Amino acid sequence: MVGEFISRGFHGRRQEDPAVAGRIPPGQYLTPDFPVLSAGPTPHTPLAQWDFAIRGAVQPTRRWTWDEFRALPSESIIVDIHCVTKWSKLDTVWEGVAIDTLLDGVETDGSYVTAFCDGGYTTNLPLADLVDGKAWVAFAYGGEPLAPEHGGPARLLVPHLYFWKSAKWVRGLEIMPCDRPGFWESLGYHDYGDPWREQRYQGD
Amino acid sequence: MTLRLESDAWPGHLPGQHVDVRLTAEDGYQAQRSYSIASAPAAGRLDLIIEEIADGEVSPYLSEELRPGDRLELRGPIGGYFTWTEANGGPLLLVGGGSGVAPLMSMLRYRETIGSAIPATLLYSSRSWDEIIFREELERLSTDPAVRVIHTLTRSHLDEWNGYTRRIDAAMLEDVAGSPEQGRLAYVCGPTPLVENVASALVSIGYPPARVKTERFGPTGG
């Protein structure tokens, strides 16, 4: 994106390796850390009280306790992730249950999803962006159980969108006929959030 | 350091908001970062706090290379949750660490410019007395009887310092923040470990989670 504005004296630090550079979306920088961002305190739901639900415009509705959820087939996932606050992290390693697995046998006419979470956080996505191998409910990161700060015991993982869509402390998906802006989307962030089109804020 | 920017196009902001800064090199390479606005809302100008990160890509440029008269590309103001105006009510508990004080400073400066009587307490963690950002201005603000500024110095202090000398914990918050039944609204900003500890501690001493707002930034935590 070369416009007319040049920052005098700014040289920056380019990614040397073109293979790596090609994996970093516009406006992002690579971080070796795993930053934590949140709007409020970290919720702590005991596993004995945890459940995950598929509800809304679905037939049938589904619900799993933690033990039932962990008995589902899961897989190892290695993906790049991109936060709207500009950091990107490559080759992150997760373990989780594919949304395809959770939706297996569920009929729906709905096209949109609201992910809902402990603490009241929500985010909205098209159903099409959660299926066909694009998303998981992840319970482990880097070979360890997912830490509460990072969304444990389980979070949504949707790596092709900005990471605020990978809702932490997720407790279920509500399938809906129309799109309803979630927490950050209602506060000015983009409804879709494609990092490659730099869709950070409403109107981008 | 404080970066003071002026722009006829700048509409002002809500206390707590931040701005995205974009830098473009001559070959078109770009870098973007976000910075909290430390000044009180004002059309036409804004102050940012730049904490220089030793091997950073952007902060050394902003801290050392930028000269008066240079121009920056800004986008904003950004942020709709970690904001406070008088309509949000109070009393206010502001808890900050290091450069995390920036959005909290915007809130205190705004509070002063509108002549608000809402009580505000700032609990501010710094490594040492000399490293307290806005120290003198905070002393002046605390002459308002409804404003309390409490420092904790975590790394070094002079013998005559008789204030807190440890990381913020639940006991300190309980001493400082009083009873959450008073309906306090808490804003916590700083490095991730501080924010995590303080937010958890506030919940543990009875703050409803919805009354605790957090913003984490600075050098990325592990």
Residue A73 sits in a domain whose CATH number is: 3.90.420.10
Q: Judge whether B109 lies within some domain.
A: yes
Check if the beta carbon of residue A148 is closer than 8 Å to that of residue A168. Answer: no
CA atoms within 13 A on the CB side of B16: 23
How far is residue B70 from each of residues A7, B29, B76, B119, measured CA to CA in Å?
8, 18, 19, 39
Which of B61, B78, B95 marks a domain boundary? B78
Within this chain, do residues B118 and B167 fall inside the same structural domain, yes or no? Answer: yes
Tell me if B210 and A1 make a contact (CB, 8 A cut-off): no
DSSP 8-state assignment for residue B136 = H
**Same domain assignment for residues B54 and B25:** yes
Work out the minimum CA distance from A198 to partner chain B, whole angstroms: 12
Burial B47-79, CB ≥16 within 10 A → b, else e: bbbbbeeeebbbbebbeeebeeeeebebebbbb
Q: A37 in contact with B at a CB cutoff of 8 Å?
A: yes
One pLDDT digit (tens) per residue for chain B, 222 residues = 899 999 999 999 999 999 999 999 999 999 999 999 999 999 999 999 998 888 889 999 999 999 999 999 999 999 999 999 999 999 999 999 999 999 999 999 999 999 999 999 999 999 999 999 999 999 999 999 999 999 999 999 888 999 999 999 999 999 998 677 678 999 999 999 999 999 999 999 999 999 999 998 755 433
Q: Is residue A202 assigned to a domain?
A: no
Domain check: are B41 and B132 in the same one? no
Residue A6 domain-assigned (yes or no): no
**Contact by Cβ (8 Å): B127, B196:** no
Same domain, B49 and B112: no
User: What are the DSSP E strand ranges found in chain B?
Assistant: 2-6, 18-24, 30-36, 45-49, 73-78, 92-97, 120-126, 147-153, 185-190, 212-216
Let me know whether B93 and B58 are in one domain: no
Residue B186 resides in a domain: yes
Tell me the per-residue pLDDT of A159-187, one tens digit each, with 9 for 90 and over: 999 999 999 999 999 999 999 999 999 99
The answer to whether position B42 is within a domain reads yes
Q: Give the contacts of B4 (CB within 8 A, at least 6 positions apart).
A: B45, B46, B47
Q: How far is B33 from chain A (nearest CA, A)?
A: 7
Considering only CB atoms, B213 lies closest to which of A9, A40, A86, namely A40
Which of B24, B81, B221 is facing A35, going by the closest CB pair? B221
A39 domain residue, yes or no: no
Instruction: Please tell me if residue A86 touches chain B, with a CB cutoff of 8 Å.
Output: yes
Q: Tell me, yes or no, whether B141 and B199 share the same domain.
A: yes
Chain B hits for A43, CB-CB cut-off 8 Å, are 209
Q: Is some CB atom of chain A closer than 8 A to the CB atom of B167?
A: no
Residue-number span of the structural domain to which A116 is assigned:
25-31+48-197
Name the residue of chain A whose CA is nearest to B70's CA: A8
Q: What does the pLDDT read at residue A8? A: 95
A101 touches chain B (CB under 8 A): no
Ordered alpha helix ranges (H), chain A: 18-21, 66-70, 99-102, 183-186
Q: Do B24 and A9 touch (CB under 8 A)?
A: no
Out of A33, A39, A40, the one facing B222 most closely (by C-beta) is A33
Establish if B140 belongs to a structural domain: yes
Same domain (yes/no): B132, B34: no
Q: What is the mean pLDDT of chain A?
A: 96
| Helix or strand holding residue A172 (H, E) | strand A170-176
Amino acid residing at A136: W
Say if residue B92 is in the same domain as residue B111: yes
CA distance B199 to B76: 27
CATH of the domain at B208: 3.40.50.80
- Quick: pLDDT tens for A90-113: 999 999 999 999 999 999 999 999
In a domain, A157, yes or no: yes
Q: Tell me if chain B has a CB within 8 Å of the CB of A5.
A: yes
Q: How many domains does chain B have?
A: 2
At which of B78, B99, B126 does a domain end?
B78
Beta strands at A62-65 and A51-56: parallel, antiparallel or unpaired: antiparallel
The end-to-end CA distance of chain A, in Å, is: 14
Question: Is residue A19 included in any domain, yes or no?
Answer: no
User: Which residues does chain B have within 8 Å of residue A41's beta carbon, measured at their own beta carbons?
Assistant: 199-200, 202-203, 209, 212, 214
Range of the domain at B41: 2-78
Nearest to A169 by CA among A148, A143, A193: A148
* Domains contained in chain A, number: 1
For residue B32, the chain A residues in CB contact (below 8 A) are 27-28, 86
User: Are B91 and B18 members of one domain?
Assistant: no
Q: Is residue B222 part of a domain?
A: no
